[in-house]
Structures are given as structure tokens and as C-alpha cells.
Amino acid sequence: MPAVQLPQAALPPIRIRSIEAAPLLGESPKGGWSHEIRPDDSIHAIIAVHTDAGITGYGSSFTDGRLVQAGLKVLEPLYAGENALEPERLTEKLHQNTFWMGRGGTLTHTISGIDIALWDILGKATGMPVGRLLGGSYRSRVQPYCSLLMEEPGLMHRVVEEYREKGFRAFKIGWGPFGRALDTKLDEAIVRAAREAAGPDNKLFVDAGASDANWPHGLKWAMRTAEMLNDYDVGWFEEAVKPDAINDFCHLRRVSPVPIAGGEVLTRRQSFLPWLSRGAFDIVQPDVTKVGGISEQRRIAWMAADFGVKYIGHGWNTALGLAADLQMAAAFADADLVEYIGGSPYVDGILAEPFALDSEGYLAIPDKPGLGVAIDREKLARFVANPDAMFA
């Protein structure tokens, strides 16, 4: 049998020509925050990395788009003319050269979107989906859990029922009046309504949203609430105490009958180390659009696995964040769920081929090169001021 001839030439560098950011405006969904999001508020931005090879990669950042645009101006001297085929080296360069400006804020969020876009470019240039570039393909589809705001019990039942009829088989309810109304009977009534609407065989998760401004509760409330949630077969209790209260998280995880989840407000891998090493989480939820992108996300996921903590991504906020989480789910054995915000046009309304559930309530993981999704110019024009700048 003749030897297989492998290609010898490496890909030549593909240089970054420009990077553009577009705030998403006009239909921003409510977040359940005490200072509520308005439709015209910018809390998400799409990033496009244009190259001299005519390949454009796309990512997104979970922050005000005006901050991302400002961040790009600061970072431009560091990325201009760089090789877009080296996402980890390049984004680490951006991090290392901006430490003194502060970790974890605007620049980290901006780098997150750039990094996702660079992985998209690397996949497109090599003809490979990002999940395979990350080292594996553990699954070709994954179950999304429909992320919904807490409502008063009657409306909560109707909303969960609506999305169950659309094909979802897993649900997360969070924020809204839960905990904030200071009424434990109301908290339980909301959860009971959601469980009844979801049905006994489907998954249900609860997110207290204690990273909201002026969260009114502490550890004792979280401990009592965890006992209540166990009665309704809740799969995890998320953001149950204030996001900096690591000691409370550690104690709650030890005593709670329900798994404890968190980590969405942390950024960069270094900040996750004490939370993982001290046993604060059963499930860790880094957000790929904030934490530093796919390059950081996968290092956090590996670190979590070493500590025996389950990794589930939190990049639910745009179609690009979800696409990144889908590719990560392909590459990690225990990443068997992705978050899918219910009813957001920034997820459902910007792709040429929108995401669609199969008959069992799963999403196919795109197997096309890069992130495997394509933005539709006309659809995007509903939400950004200058859509043409996002295309080569």
C-alpha cells in the first residue's frame, strides 16, 4: 500500500486588516434586573475581524457596545497587522499588554469577542469546525435549556408551557420577583408553577440572580431555599448568594441537597482558581463573551475538570455566543447542556439559518468551518446602525 502523501506547506499568515464592533440596539430583552434593561439599551455587541485574505470572523461581547468600540481603539496598536490564525497567542498578547489598565472590565470583554472571531477565522481558513480544532468531537448535538425570567406564578406557568410546546425539554427560570419580593411563599409558588408546566420528566434549574444590584439575602436564605428547591427536583441552584461571597458559596455547596452553580461574573482563568480549588461550585458557568473568549473558556473548562467540577457555558446572549458554546460543548465530554435565552431576537433573528430544535429538543452542533454559522446582513440591519461595516 503506497504511503499517504500529506500536504507539506503551512498556511501563510492571514493578517488583520481591521476590527469593527456594532452595538445591538432596539430589541434588547429584559434581564429581570432591579434597574431593568430597556429595548434601546446596548448590553451586547457583535465583533467582526476583517483580514487581508477576505475572511471575516465573528464574535460577540456581553457589555455595552460603546465600551467595546472604545476598547478596540485602545487595543488597535496591539492587533493591527497581526496573524489572525493564532488566536491564543494574539489574545494573550492583548491581555498581557493591558494588565495595568485593569483585568476583567471593558478590555477583557472586548478581547473576548475578538478571540471568538479569531477562532472563527482559524476554522474557516482550515476548513474545520472550532470544536474539532479544540481537540475533539464528543457529540454532534446538545440539549439547550431555555432560559426564562421569573414571573408571577400564573404567568410563569404559561411561559414555561409555551416554550415546552416549542420543543424545549429543559428550562431555567431566574431573576424577576424571586427573592426580591421578600416572600418565601411566592418564591415556592413560582417554582411549583414552573415544575408543573415543565412536567415531571423535563429538567428545571433555578437562578436566584444574586449578582443583581443590592441583593437582599444572605447564606441563611440560600440554605432554606435550596431545601425548598430540592422538593421540586431542581437540577441546580445558580447565583444563590452574592457573587463575591466565596465563603458562603463553599458552605452552601457542602450543605445544599441541590447542586450549586455560578461563576458567570468572573473573568479570566486566574479568577476561577480559588473558586474551583476551594470547592465553591458543583457547576461552573464561565461566559465566553466576557471571560476572555474561547481561548480562556477552554482553559477554565480543563481546570474545572481537574477539580471534578462540571462545566456548562454561559454564552447565551447572542447567536455568536451560543455558537461558541455549541463548539465548546463538542470539545468537552461533560458539557451536555447549553443556555438558550427564550425569545431574544439577538439569538433567533440575526442568522441566515436560525437555530432549530430537533424532535427531542436538542440543537445540532454546526459542523461547518469556524463557528459554523453565518450572519444575515439584512436581519442584522434591524439592530445595528452600520451593518455594512461588519462585512468584508
- Of 326, 322, 330, 384, the closest CA to residue 347 belongs to 322
Q: How far is CA 231 from CA 150, 227, 234, 235, in A?
A: 18, 7, 8, 11
Residue 10 lies in a domain: no
Q: Are residues 79 and 25 in the same domain?
A: yes
Cell readout for 228 is 425548598
CA 345: distance to chain centroid? 16
Read off the CATH number of the domain in which 317 is found.
3.20.20.120
Q: Are residues 277 and 247 in the same domain?
A: yes
Residue 202 lies in a domain: yes
The answer to whether 279 and 253 are in contact (CB under 8 A) is: yes
Q: Are residues 323 and 256 in the same domain?
A: yes
Q: Are residues 286 and 305 in the same domain?
A: yes
Read off the CATH number of the domain in which 53 is found.
3.30.390.10
Looking at the structure of the chain, the number of domains it has is 2
Residue 5 lies in a domain: no
Give me the tens of pLDDT residue by residue for the chain, a chain 392 residues long: 666 666 666 889 999 999 999 999 999 888 888 888 898 889 999 999 999 999 999 999 999 999 999 999 999 999 999 999 999 999 999 999 998 888 889 999 999 999 999 999 999 999 999 999 999 899 999 999 999 999 999 999 999 999 999 999 999 999 999 999 999 999 999 999 999 999 999 999 999 999 999 999 999 999 999 999 999 999 999 999 999 999 999 999 999 999 999 999 999 998 999 999 999 999 999 999 999 999 999 999 999 999 999 999 998 889 999 999 999 999 999 999 999 999 999 999 999 999 999 999 999 999 999 999 999 999 999 999 999 999 98
Greatest CA span in the chain, whole angstroms?
Answer: 75
Q: Are residues 145 and 217 in the same domain?
A: yes
Q: Are residues 89 and 175 in the same domain?
A: no
Domain of residue 202, residue span = 132-368
Residue 329 lies in a domain: yes
Q: Are residues 33 and 149 in the same domain?
A: no
The answer to whether 252 and 238 are in contact (CB under 8 A) is: no
Residue 8 lies in a domain: no
Q: Are residues 65 and 181 in the same domain?
A: no
Q: Are residues 222 and 318 in the same domain?
A: yes
- Of 327, 279, 273, the closest CA to residue 300 belongs to 273
Give, as one character, the DSSP assignment of residue 139: -
Strand bridging mode 260-262 / 237-238: parallel
Q: Are residues 150 and 83 in the same domain?
A: no
The pTM of the full predicted model, rounded to 2 decimals, is 0.96
Q: Which residue has the cell 431555599?
A: 225
Q: Are residues 100 and 206 in the same domain?
A: no
Residue 9 lies in a domain: no
Q: Are residues 76 and 147 in the same domain?
A: no
